[in-house]
Amino acid sequence: MTSSLRLRAGLVSIVLLAAFLGIWHIATRSTGATTTMSPEYAKLMGLTATQGKSAMPGPLDVGAKLWEHLKRPFYDNGPNDKGLGIQLAYSIARVGTGYLLAVLVAIPLGFLIGMSPLLSKALDPFIQVLKPISPLAWMPLALYTIKDSSVSAIFVIFICSIWPMLLNTVFGVASVRKEWINVARTLEVGTIRRAFTVILPAAAPTILTGMRISIGIAWLVIVAAEMLVGGTGIGYFVWNEWNNLSITNVIIAILLIGVIGMLLDQILARFTRMVTFPE
Amino acid sequence: MSTFDDPFDSDRNLQAGCVCGQHRSALEHEQAASALRCEPIESEDKRYEGVVASAVMRAMFPQDVARRAFLKSVGASTALAALSQFFPLKTATEVFAATGTPEKKDLKVGFIPITCATPIIMAAPLGFYAKHGLNVEVVKTAGWAVVRDKTINKEYDAAHMLAPMPIAISLGLGSSAIPFAVPAIENINGQGITLAMKHKDKRDPKDWKGMKFAIPFDYSMHNYLLRYYLAEHGIDPDTDVQLRSVPPPEMVANLRADNIDGFLAPDNICQRAIYDGVGFMHILSKEIWDGHPCCSFAASREFITTAPNSFAALTRAIVDATAYASKAENRKQIAEAIAPANYINAPVTVLEQVLTGTYADGLGGVKTDAKRVDFDPFPWQSFAVWMLTQMKRWGQIKGEVDYKTIAEQVYLATDTKKLMTEMGLSPPASAYKSFAVMGKTFDPAKPEDYVASFKIRKGA
């Protein structure tokens, strides 16, 4: 039953994809030479103007270009032109650094806040104000104070991924069932041991959910941050190709950003499943 | 023995060993000191003087004994005077100092991917930086504000900036005030007013009321030229039209999407709009002011003082590249060198049309203007004065402006002149020249009168 459902769902997915590609192909066909131009003039003009080629590339153009990129993902033609593999590696490294720093701060801090009602109440207004700030709004401030664009990008990732983790940790720790804590207390378990053997496993699913939300946001933000600071990374790639009005490459980058984002999310989803327990 | 010691000390052995500070008598020390120092040398110039004089003395007296005998018999100062008679020690020293070893060899230079940056960019693939002993990484940057911030933050040692930007930064307009300097102008001309295809019958600027135009940055020649052009046609750029700061690559997309009606933009952007069939060339910026500066090569004063030799080498490389780019026969090769994704990232055809001046105008015609863009490094201080008058005119700076002082502080005409002479080029004698913008003559000696002479200006 489930296998046949899966099969049917798969078929529908393929049909949808084919329909999408078909419509895309038809919509971006070139209309043929539009106006008559002197050949001398036509030589100086782009295909959009001479052949009536759509400014939007078709799926075949994108496919061919994608294949070209996949064939040599790690080329290095100097500081402003590197292969997609290298660009993605830069972005992932930035996200990884900022994100790990955020984990190191958010989870211990969340634990403290969650275990202490006083701290929880005292810090709440600050967190509430800082949480909704768009991470990119920190960018000018970071650039101005840190004075280093790549560190600023990491800082922006750090600041945007810290809040979901912090709040989820606080919430998870604070809502551990009272009975369990009471049982631990009856058995005279020390605070540290209680934190690690009772609260941590109980709050783990909530914490992991927070981490999963954070990685999603971090990946969203890195692209925008790299477009601003430039240099390296997939965001820079998008910007550089936009500069050349190469929509084909921009589409490829969009596709890859989606795939990597999905992979990051799936990795954390797997971790979440590992710590989830039935009640 | 160090090369920097006194070659006129008869007791010294020029071949080996140092006897500095070991004069036999106070008189001799005095003589030596008045001629050339042998105490720790205070300035770079003095040191170079010593090195050069050493070399000359060594050449004249290959035998150390003979040199000593000569110095003993005539005295150091006489020897120096005699030597200077037939050997231009001063000039030799200057030439030597000019090629001093760079303090910092690995440099980062930021640029914006437009053809204005041609000398800065091409100096990398065509080896002009390497020729002057530097290892320069040219880094593409997302926008003018980012270039400014990265140069202020010292991530870049020097950068491609719009000609008015170093003035604005030095004055603290739009950023904290940090003294910047311009040793070389990148390009002259090379911009254009491009309009959307739908306006192809609306060629008279008087009909442009209510239109939206894009400019690359507030502190840009583009802004001042477009405002000037509009105002000369009776359109007040502050009230009659909308001017928006838009990063160059987004201009073409915005023009296609009908968000703007046109732009005064740096080239390869204008030609790109034509190439993609979304716009046509209304006029070249050359028709507003032939020979106007556009972009500059800029560095902070701090970099210049901490690494003067690196800075001099960098300037020489840029001047060299600019001289190369100014020759029409080299333009095709340059277009190919700067087109790849690592540099400008644009179709070669587009860059060729910009650089060679044979271009499609977007209306079906092919035009030729060899001076569409040109390259001339000399940082005329009168250019800076003109920009200041426009900043004043449009309210970017208020109150008294000390035009001359600012221009002289930021535009390093004297230093560049010296460099150019050493390189065998012929720089102009004065740093000020008068020129005409749309037929109206600008006298750099009377900037206040010039500002006051405009009917359309902010707060007038």
**Chain A CB contacts of B137 below 8 Å:** 79
- Asked if residue A185 has pLDDT above 90, the reply is no
Predicted local confidence at residue A98, as pLDDT: 94
- A55 assigned to some structural domain: no
At which residue do the structure tokens 């810090």 appear?
Answer: A123
- A135 assigned to some structural domain: yes
**Chain A CB contacts of B346 below 8 Å:** 244
- A271 assigned to some structural domain: yes
Any A CB within 8 A of B140 CB:
yes
Q: Which residue in A55, A80, A147 is closest to B140 by CB distance?
A: A80
User: Which residues, numbered 245 to 264 in chain B, qualify as contacts with chain A under a Cβ-Cβ cut-off of 8 Å?
Assistant: 249-250, 252-253, 256
Among B112, B120, B146, pick the best mutation site for testing chain A contact (most A Cβ within 10 A).
B146
- A213 assigned to some structural domain: yes
For B111, nearest residue in chain A (alpha carbons): A80
**Chain B CB contacts of A148 below 8 Å:** 153, 155
For A53, nearest residue in chain B (alpha carbons): B276
- A265 assigned to some structural domain: yes
For B140, nearest residue in chain A (alpha carbons): A80
For B155, nearest residue in chain A (alpha carbons): A148
Q: Which residue in B142, B253, B340 is closest to A239 by CB distance?
A: B142
- A129 assigned to some structural domain: yes
Q: Which residue in B249, B253, B275 is closest to A49 by CB distance?
A: B275
Predicted local confidence at residue A45, as pLDDT: 82
User: HEC profile for chain B?
Assistant: CCCCCCCCCCCCCCCCCCCCCCCCCHHHHHHHHHHCCCCCCCCHHHHHHHHHHHHHHHHHCCCHHHHHHHHHHHCHHHHHHHHHHHCCHHHHHHHHHHCCCCCCCEEEEEECCCHHHHHHHHCCCCCHHHHCCCEEEEEECCCHHHHHHHHHCCCCCEEEEECCHHHHHHHCCCCCCCCEEEEEECCEECEEEEEEHHHCCCCCHHHCCCCEEEECCCCCHHHHHHHHHHHHCCCCCCCCCEEEECCHHHHHHHHHCCCCCEEEEECCHHHHHHHCCCEEEEEEHHHCCCCCECEEEEEEHHHHHHCHHHHHHHHHHHHHHHHHHCCHHHHHHHHHHHCCCCCCCCCHHHHHHHHHCEEECCCCCEEECCCCEECCCCCCHHHHHHHHHHHHHCCCCCCCCCHHHHHHHHECHHHHHHHHHHCCCCCCCCCCCCEEECCEEECCCCHHHHHHCCCCCCCC
- A102 assigned to some structural domain: yes
Residue contact A243–B343, C-beta within 8 A:
no
Residues A5-31 pLDDT 10s: 999 999 999 999 999 999 988 888 776
Predicted local confidence at residue B299, as pLDDT: 93
Are the CB atoms for B373 and B267 separated by under 8 Å? yes
* Domain span at A247: 84-275
- CATH homologous superfamily of B103-460: Periplasmic binding protein-like II (3.40.190.10)
Q: Which residue in A43, A77, A143 is closest to B341 by CB distance?
A: A77
- Please state the domain count of chain A: 1
CATH number at residue A99: 1.10.3720.10
Residues A202-251 pLDDT 10s: 899 999 999 999 999 999 998 888 887 767 889 888 888 887 778 888 99
**Chain A CB contacts of B276 below 8 Å:** 46, 48-49, 55, 245
Domain boundaries, chain B: 26-98, 103-460
- Distance between A108 CA and the closest CA of chain B, angstroms: 34
- Distance between B274 CA and the closest CA of chain A, angstroms: 7
- Distance between A254 CA and the closest CA of chain B, angstroms: 18
Q: Which residue in A44, A227, A240 is closest to B140 by CB distance?
A: A240
- Distance between A28 CA and the closest CA of chain B, angstroms: 15
**Chain B CB contacts of A46 below 8 Å:** 275-277, 347, 349
Any A CB within 8 A of B276 CB:
yes
Q: Tell me: ipTM over 0.95.
A: no
Would you give per-residue pLDDT tens digits along chain B (460 residues)?
Answer: 344 445 555 554 444 433 444 455 555 544 544 443 333 334 445 545 555 566 566 566 666 666 666 666 666 666 666 666 655 555 555 554 456 788 888 999 999 989 999 999 999 999 999 999 999 999 988 788 889 988 998 889 999 999 999 999 999 887 778 999 999 998 999 999 999 999 989 999 999 999 999 999 999 999 999 999 999 999 999 999 999 998 887 888 889 888 999 999 998 899 999 998 899 999 999 999 999 999 999 999 999 999 999 999 999 999 999 989 988 899 999 999 999 888 888 889 999 999 999 999 988 889 999 889 999 899 999 999 999 999 999 999 988 889 999 999 999 999 899 888 888 888 888 889 989 999 999 999 999 999 999 999 886 5
Overall average pLDDT of the A103-120 stretch:
90
Residue contact B276–A230, C-beta within 8 A:
no
- Distance between A55 CA and the closest CA of chain B, angstroms: 8
- A90 assigned to some structural domain: yes
Predicted local confidence at residue B44, as pLDDT: 44
Residue contact A44–B141, C-beta within 8 A:
no
Any A CB within 8 A of B342 CB:
yes
Q: Which residue in B253, B342, B366 is closest to A80 by CB distance?
A: B342
Q: Which residue in B137, B277, B341 is closest to A48 by CB distance?
A: B277
